[in-house]
Structure 1
């Protein structure tokens, strides 16, 4: 294996290309089987927090790239309306993508308020980094915004290691401006729209930020001081990620993440399985429930059932819980039966599944239990039980990028990039 800073070696016989990102690394560490399933080309599930985060991130990017070169520097009262229009556009894009994804819960239009607050928080942090004192967005002049734009060296940039095995997407690279207005280095910033840390960054978030920091430094040997920061828009706080380089540990993890026909080891647990989106294809969590390694849940439960009766007009069903036989996804009937009340998306999914001719077991995701009755609606999933015991050795995660794709490379000491963002 080539070193992080060395030249790319010729692939060994049987080598299959793949790339490690901070998210795939965390997924692999959490449960190798979850990582393996995420690479099998299975339908992904849309997420409201992810859509909200994308809308805020993309709005910040558009505002940073906004061409104001032909406008009067003294113009004010333009930012509130412009920011709202940009966010509204990206909110609609995210909504269309969300609803166009076969696996999605209910879209929550009311969360645009949270997205708006997130955008305000992110911009306020950016203002503070440019040492601009702003009390109200309506006060921001075009000239002031040009000052803010001048410290943004890159946004939404791709980082790829020299060996091509590590890849990440960086939100912002900004100049670290001191109180005299002079640049004293670079800040690798990652915008966070989720819950702020208390009191400090957890290890995985810190590692993610250092991952971006270290790839940037590797691609820019003559870099100035580089600081990695998490910018939390919810409470407008900045958290610095300190620590050693993560390049070598990432390359070690990359070795274990090679695409494989055979499923990787599963490590079932409450945290690993709690929010896993691949349960309909993983037989191990259901066997772990049988063995007492996982609790059945309380109000909301996942189930693998046979459909005894289904009345689509009434939105009612009778289910029989199945019992796992072995660890390969085989099932046997149990004596436990319970009713189901289905509406909205869950009713549509069940109808379409049975209309397709499916006669096997069904995975019910996040059914709300009330005694011996399961309630299923927009928050649920109804999927065919399709345990995977063999896959393919192709990485369906993304188009693999090479070091020539890197757009955060060769940034000069004055902040000018050799390639456009």
Structure 2
């Protein structure tokens, strides 16, 4: 391998076009909202959770999401590399290029993560896991191109060009002709036989836990939706199927099933914007990792009525601050049980101590200095005996039940 080489990154813009095929149709429709696989899932979990996600509330950063984005964007960069000035037989370059791509996107994601008002601690040690995920994704690509390699350092320029030649597009937007349904495509691949395109593959890169058996129902639905959107936008398509690529163990899972677009459009109708909140369907599954609890009174009512378990080690609470010492981080809280269903709270005799540090301590200081609060939401407080501990894994927010849409609030203010 030569000591110097040039690799120019081509940044794709949308709508993408490759080999005469459009990923996204430009529609004259201007729908009031759009359905994506994630919004569909959220609506099914809890309509109130979906409604709150559309109110412009501050979102919460997630370490797994940031790591997944860094891996996805690194794969995109490597698929779009222009290997100018390199000989076809050169090897040893892919290890270097993949590390550079991941380091670059890791830093971008770290900055975005830190700039998000609601974020836990950034975990720099997870870059090792991200690197393993990236290597796993590249290995799947090589196998799909029928160019399996024992080590990425053995991949030649010629080999990678063959991989690139089968990738029609990556990280592109998919949209239904009516404009109501959309998705984000990771990879659109053409499989050839005897020099002719025999099949298209819609591949979605998954950086989470691989399935032990069949694909999760919602993942299967997501992949079929991407498949059907691609087919709708390309009437003269060859056979098309969708796959989930799990980088953790380099497994490929095919998503089979009937067309899904009609079902998606039916769901779209139910997800229309409303001025008042949609009904909540609190459950341990839908509420466990919900990021909108500070604005939703329903989960707290469900907790009081025994419909939700309080949790064993980590708990969410709605409280009144009794005492707080900034120097030590010691606080005394009083639990505030709900009255009715609209977020009103009652006093109680249930008081507990807490130790605040790091991010949670800073949040408490900022909230107290603003004096613009009456009650607080404590997220992921760790129970240790009779004392709660809150730190970088936790958050403290003003309790602010949202009973009308943000647009309706603005109208009232005006």
Scaled by the length of structure 1, the TM-score of the pair is 0.89
1:285-310 CA-partner distances (Å, limit 9, x unpaired): 00000111001111100000000000
- 1:292–1:96 Cα change, 3 Å: same
CA distance in 2, matches of 1:50, 1:203: 20
> Which residue number corresponds to residue 336 of structure 2?
322
CA distance in 2, matches of 1:192, 1:323: 40
Unaligned runs of 5+ in 1: 1-6, 395-421
Task: Look up the SS of the partner of 2:92 in the other structure.
Answer: coil
Mapping 1:17-96, distance limit 5 Å: 17-96=32-111
Superposed displacement of residue 140, structure 1: 1.1
Task: Look up the SS of the partner of 2:180 in the other structure.
Answer: coil
Counterpart of 1:350 (choices 345, 360, 364) is 364
Q: Confirm or deny: 8 A CA contact 2:373 2:398 kept in the other structure.
A: no
Unaligned runs of 5+ in 2: 1-25, 409-414
CA distance in 2, matches of 1:168, 1:365: 31
Superposed displacement of residue 8, structure 1: 7.5
Superposed displacement of residue 392, structure 1: 3.9
> Which residue number corresponds to residue 176 of structure 2?
161
CA distance in 1, matches of 2:400, 2:243: 41
Count residues with an aligned counterpart.
384
CA distance in 2, matches of 1:182, 1:140: 25
Q: Determine if the alignment matches structure 1 residue 338 to structure 2 residue 338.
A: no
CA distance in 1, matches of 2:84, 2:259: 40
Mapping 1:56-205, distance limit 5 Å: 56-178=71-193, 182-205=196-219
Superposed displacement of residue 359, structure 1: 3.8
Runs of 4+ in 1 over 4 A off after TM superposition: 7-11
Q: Determine if the alignment matches structure 1 residue 210 to structure 2 residue 220.
A: no
Q: Confirm or deny: 8 A CA contact 1:129 1:177 kept in the other structure.
A: no
- 1:8–1:121 Cα change, 3 Å: closer
CA distance in 2, matches of 1:359, 1:273: 24
> Which residue number corresponds to residue 314 of structure 2?
300
> Which residue number corresponds to residue 391 of structure 2?
377
> RMSD between aligned alpha carbons?
1.6
Q: Confirm or deny: 8 A CA contact 2:367 2:373 kept in the other structure.
A: no
> Which residue number corresponds to residue 411 of structure 1?
none
> Which residue number corresponds to residue 301 of structure 2?
287
> Which residue number corresponds to residue 244 of structure 2?
230
Superposed displacement of residue 148, structure 1: 0.7
1:152-181 CA-partner distances (Å, limit 9, x unpaired): 000001011010000100000011245x66
CA distance in 2, matches of 1:340, 1:177: 62
Q: Confirm or deny: 8 A CA contact 1:131 1:177 kept in the other structure.
A: no
Task: Look up the SS of the partner of 2:342 in the other structure.
Answer: coil
CA distance in 2, matches of 1:346, 1:10: 45
Q: Confirm or deny: 8 A CA contact 1:299 1:369 kept in the other structure.
A: yes
> Which residue number corresponds to residue 22 of structure 2?
none
Superposed displacement of residue 218, structure 1: 0.2
Q: Which has the higher contact order (CA 8 A, sep 6+)?
A: 1
Task: Look up the SS of the partner of 2:81 in the other structure.
Answer: coil
Q: Confirm or deny: 8 A CA contact 2:275 2:405 kept in the other structure.
A: yes
Q: Confirm or deny: 8 A CA contact 2:29 2:178 kept in the other structure.
A: no
Counterpart of 1:240 (choices 223, 236, 254) is 254
CA distance in 2, matches of 1:140, 1:252: 47
CA distance in 1, matches of 2:357, 2:403: 33
Q: Confirm or deny: 8 A CA contact 1:159 1:168 kept in the other structure.
A: yes
Q: Determine if the alignment matches structure 1 residue 262 to structure 2 residue 271.
A: no
Q: Confirm or deny: 8 A CA contact 2:207 2:247 kept in the other structure.
A: yes
1:42-73 CA-partner distances (Å, limit 9, x unpaired): 00000000001000000000000001143211
- 1:181–1:261 Cα change, 3 Å: same
Counterpart of 2:380 (choices 366, 371, 376) is 366
